[in-house]
Structures are given as structure tokens and as C-alpha cells.
């Protein structure tokens, strides 16, 4: 069983569209994260979410919004997609904030 799963694995879309990436973890963890890895391979945290408390990296545009229907899911919704949003997005979870994290396989988003 996959511990942290993301869908879709690949996403190609046009500028201006709205898209969502889904993430589910079956580890029973309390904290989930979204990371962005750009073309230079830098991996930067976007959001961390713990018991309905959201911490946002202030550099993330407000076009990006995480949505958590329950503790096992943290979806990423992106409005008005831009070319610069093209990247690989990773979801992760950990037993508690800042402890060892388990990552999904990533979603490669390409905006054309």
C-alpha cells in the first residue's frame, strides 16, 4: 500500500485554468505538507497543515490554496495558472510538526 499518494502524476494545462492536485496519506499522521520543486531542483515548503491549523509560506501566491476535507487528505487547488507554476509538487505527511516526513511521488505540472 502506498503511504502517501498523489494524483495525478502528470498534469498539463493551459494558462489561466484552475486545477487541483489530490493527496492522501494512510499513515494516520497528524501533519501534512505541500512542497514545490522548481526547475533548479530546489525543494521549498508551501504549506503545512496540522489539526486544521494552516501555516503558509508567505512567498506562496494566494492563487494557491490547500483544502483538507479530513485528516488523511490535503488537496492543493491552484487558480489562474501561470507559466511559472510549472514544477513538481510533492505532498508529504509526518506524525507531528517537523518530525520525519514521508513524501508522495510528486505531480509534474506543466503550464502551457
Partner 1 sequence: DAKTTQPPSMDCAEGRAANLPCNHSTISGNEYVYWYRQIHSQGPQYIIHGLKNNETNEMASLIITEDRKSSTLILPHATLRDTAVYYCIVSSGAGSYQLTFGKGTKLSVIP
Q: Which stretches of the chain bind partner 1, using CB under 8 A?
A: 4, 33, 35, 41-45, 48, 50, 53, 55, 57, 90, 92, 96-106
By beta-carbon proximity to partner 1, the closer residue of 9 and 80 is: 9
For residue 61, give the nearest of 93, 38, 84, 89 by alpha carbon: 84
The minimum distance between CB 16 and partner 1, in angstroms, equals 28
Least separation in angstroms between residue 47's CB and partner 1 is 10
Q: Which is nearer to partner 1, 16 or 44 (CB)?
A: 44
Q: Going by DSSP bridges, is the β-strand pair 73-78/19-25 parallel, antiparallel, or unpaired?
A: antiparallel
Minimum CB separation of residue 1 from partner 1 in Å reads 16
Amino acid at each position: 500500500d502506498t503511504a502517501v499518494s498523489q494524483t495525478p502524476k502528470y498534469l498539463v494545462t493551459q494558462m489561466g485554468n484552475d486545477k487541483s492536485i489530490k493527496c492522501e496519506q494512510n499513515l494516520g499522521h497528524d501533519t501534512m505538507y505541500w512542497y514545490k520543486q522548481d526547475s533548479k531542483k530546489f525543494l521549498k515548503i508551501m504549506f503545512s497543515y496540522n489539526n486544521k491549523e494552516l501555516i503558509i509560506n508567505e512567498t506562496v501566491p494566494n492563487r494557491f490554496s490547500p483544502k483538507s476535507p479530513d485528516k488523511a487528505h490535503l488537496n492543493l487547488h491552484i487558480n489562474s495558472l501561470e507559466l511559472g507554476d510549472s514544477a513538481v509538487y510533492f505532498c508529504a505527511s509526518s506524525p507531528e510538526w517537523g518530525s520525519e516526513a514521508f513524501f508522495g511521488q510528486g505531480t509534474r505540472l506543466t503550464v502551457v
